[in-house]
Chain A
Amino acid sequence: MTTMTFDNKCFEKLHKTEAWMYTNVSALAKIDFALSTTFVDEQIIHGFDVTPANSFIVLINGVFNEEASRLSDGIEINAAYELAGTIASRGDSFIPSFECDTVTITNNQEKTIHILQLVTGDCATAASGSVFIHAKEGESISVAETHVCLGDSGHLFMPLTEIMAEKNSNVTLVRAIRGSNTAYQLGQLHVCQLDSSEVQTHTITLASKVSRNEVSAYLDGEHIESNFDGMYMLGQDQQVDNHLRIEHNYPNCNSREFYKGILDGNAKSVFTGRIYVKEGATDTDAKQTNQNILLSDDANAIARPQLEIYNDEVACTHGATTGEIDEEAKLYLRSRGIPADAAEALLMYAFLNESLDHLADDGFRKTLTDELLSAMPGGDFIRTL
């Protein structure tokens, strides 16, 4: 595992770089973060434990909590694992990483493994947490991570997840950002895929003040399928920055990036999706899409769907749309006796729920849908249906 000492001065001029130009986190350089671990009430942890039959791993401020966790075969804590850190080191992320416990998952026992990462403290606390998922040849692993900052002290959480998907393997990862709306969540996800592997990741941002979700994927084999989804519902003083880079290094791979969200108040969304196609990576099929609905004139949606192509045998498309709720669809609903605000709520729910719909794990999906409905204007009405 690579560890570095945490120096928050690195945030000072980050927004002057091209990669961070729309996300200013210079305020972090001025905060004296605590680096400590504290006790978390059992009831709080219990509230996030939605599928008691599955394995459950709890990290508090980056430290493994054995009491609250249920481990199973193929889950190890701080195992000396050669591969850990090797995928992350291929990227050039500016997010610092520092001492924390590492969860290594090599076998999922056919059930989704839940990881709960909590950050808590009386004052602003910085924490990191590391997860390494390794699907060996022909295996399938499904992991659901929940990242929660508790309280309104303005914590900083910098989780790091790595996925190694070997030949013919399949990995599904859901990451949900919940909890406090004053926290900074700067997360990294690094994916390496070999021949004929499949990886799906879903990044769902429902909380935090500033959330930066970096995804780097290296498609190091042929006939790979990669799907990177994202969804966000943000209100006043919230910002999300989804930053992706998909590297097609070999022929015949497909990748999809599909990010959508609704912005209310003065919320801001940044999407940067870079598809990189190497020389010789012929017959690449890559798509990226970012869709935003603005509910207010103070909301701000920024999209950078980028293509970097060094090869003439490719089919790459990118698209970005930003707009308001479809007036025609609203009229359709209203002409059938549904009140205007309810029609709006329905349309918003339909727009966002598409991302949650195909989450495999029932318990987890239900929790997220619940959370979405509480964050969404008109959510209570949807519940009554």
Chain B
Amino acid sequence: MEEDKNMANDTKKRSEEIKRLADMPDAGTLLSSSNTAAEDTQLLKETFNEKYKWGFVTDIEADSAPPGLDESTIAFISAKKEEPQWLLDWRLKAYKHWLTMEEPNWPHLTYNKPNYDEIIFYSAPKSLTDGPKSLDEVDPALLETYKKLGIPLAEHAALAGVAVDAVFDSVSVGTTYQDKLAEIGIIFCPMSEAVREHPELVKKYLGTVVPYSDNYYATLNSAVFTDGSFVYIPKGVKCPMDLSTYFRINAKSSGQFERTLIIAEEGASVSYLEGCTAPMRDENQLHAAVVELITLDNASIKYSTVQNWYPGDENGVGGIYNFVTKRGKCQGKSSRITWTQVETGSAVTWKYPSCILLGDDSVGEFYSVALTNNYQQADTGTKMIHIGKNTRSTIVSKGISAGHGQNIYRGLVKIQKGAENARNYTQCDSMLMGDECGAHTFPYIEVKNSSAKAEHEASTSKIGEDQLFYCNQRGISTEDAINMIVNGFCKEVFRELPMEFAVEARRLLEVSLEASVG
């Protein structure tokens, strides 16, 4: 109880902080200035606990499928979602293909493979099976959970100016701002609703970027995906606010298989935020999501993620397996897709947000901060596939390893024959803290066009004794100094994040690094 109270206080503080920052004239300058960083550090410091602070379980009876996976499970999920026949057929096709596949062994990761017979592939909070019409109908216990998480739903939503499609286990519980967005033609709804309300759009785009046969986890997701977000921005519309989804794994042993699809029509643009927390558990939980982005001529999508799922304890017990396929297709000319991610959680991460640069003059960007502490492992990076002429891509990856953490950057830059004058710039920097962790860089550069240029830069560094000494001399504690240096190291990525995410990201890094440096 005491802890819950603290949580609520924290949430309040956080909302106030976000509001304070939102009122500032220039948030970008604010976040990159070192003075404010120190101030924020001070302010946020009080909220840190050594243990994962968001480890609690909401007690809601789940309406679950039996553990294990076969065709009847898929039919059960499909029936629960009242899906049309074509989607069920698609799921079954994926399932049949999945049975022929093998779990990949090439990542530089060691973990116990999940037992798919023990996973519950569908679980929905029971009180929601009738479907709430508004926030008032949502189970108060659920709303309480979000409050603990600090999700700006309900009144917080208005304060923070964020429309939230909060996903609790597998069913979306509340969608705000939908009406406002609908006025300008934007569709922002749970995937299952999109299947019912806009089947023509879903049918047209689902699986066009990540086909059902793509890879082991994406194929599994195609067979059993339960929910996720669907966003459609019509021609010429600039989405007036950041769209946001908070994911949360809750019911015991329920893997989460989200499927998100974002389509930006000609000249449209949108910024999408994804953030995650999960309760503390001792067994590994699987998360295999698929995200597909499509941009047509002159459209742009900015997809930002802050991921802080439970990383396991200090001995490497428990934690989330995060095996995610994220891919965007710049289908139209001069379109742009930007991936920004801050990965601090999960025991094992396997994630390569990618861009297929199909349209001439299209742009793909990838900014990433990945932190591994204790026994966390992250094999993450990106793929930039240049197909159109004059396509450009930028990759900035920052890996931080502490404790026994293993951080791997794995990135592919592929320049196809027709991609004349394609340009790529890759920078991957690693920072090591301590001598038991690892930082690895595995770039793949494939060039098939002589006019293309691919640049790759990499560095590996540590926090210098002289840097710490300099800070200590000026009365800055070692811990604050480390936070400052790490923040500086990640600055290039943080400044790409939407403002409130940047605050959260910094905070997460500090929590995650706590007690890792002595």
Contacts and interface: CB of A to CB of B under 8 A. Distances in A.
B447 interface: yes
Interface in A297-325: 297-324
Contacts of B67: none
Contacts of A301: 445-447
Interface string A359-370: 000000000000
Interface residues of B, number: 34
Interface in B359-411: none
Contacts of B444: 302-304
A18 interface: yes
A314 B435 CA distance: 11
Q: At the interface, is chain B mostly helix, strand, loop or mixed?
A: strand
Given A312-B432, A314-B460, A322-B454, A307 B446 contact: no
Interface string B429-445: 01011111111111111
A109 interface: no
Interface in B191-232: none
Interface in A4-26: 18
Contact of A312 (B433, B440, B442, B458): B433
B502 interface: no
A18 to B, nearest CB: 5
A317 B427 CA distance: 12
Contacts of A74: none
A294 interface: yes
Nearest to A308: B440
A122 interface: no
Nearest to A322: B447
Contacts of A354: none
Contacts of A297: 417, 448-450
B462 interface: yes
Contacts, number: 103
B440 A320 contact: no
B37 interface: no
Given A306-B441, A309-B432, A309-B438, A319 B456 contact: yes
A71 interface: no
A78 B204 CA distance: 69
A295 B450 contact: yes
A312 B435 contact: yes
Interface in A269-311: 279-280, 292, 294-311
Contacts of A279: 435-436
B445 A317 contact: no
A305 B432 contact: no
B448 A309 contact: no
Given A317-B458, A321-B455, A309 B442 contact: no
A205 B11 CA distance: 64
Nearest to A270: B446
Given A305-B443, A309-B430, A300 B458 contact: no
Contacts of B449: 294, 297
A360 B443 CA distance: 34
Question: Residue among A294, A298, A301, A309 with the most chain B CB within 10 A?
Answer: A309
A17 to B, nearest CB: 8
B237 to A, nearest CB: 39
B6 interface: no
A318 B441 CA distance: 9
Contacts of B454: 320-322
A306 B447 contact: no
B327 to A, nearest CB: 20
Contacts of B436: 279, 310
Contacts of A294: 447, 449-450
B86 interface: no
A302 B448 CA distance: 9
B111 interface: no
A293 B232 CA distance: 44
A303 B450 CA distance: 15
Given A301-B445, A301-B447, A317-B459, 10 more contacts: A18-B106, A302-B444, A307-B439, A307-B440, A308-B438, A310-B435, A310-B437, A310-B438, A313-B462, A320-B456
5 contacts: A294-B450, A305-B456, A307-B442, A310-B438, A322-B452
- Please give me the 10 A-B residue pairs with the lowest Cβ-Cβ distance, nearest first: A312-B432, A294-B450, A312-B462, A322-B447, A303-B445, A324-B450, A307-B441, A310-B438, A18-B106, A308-B440
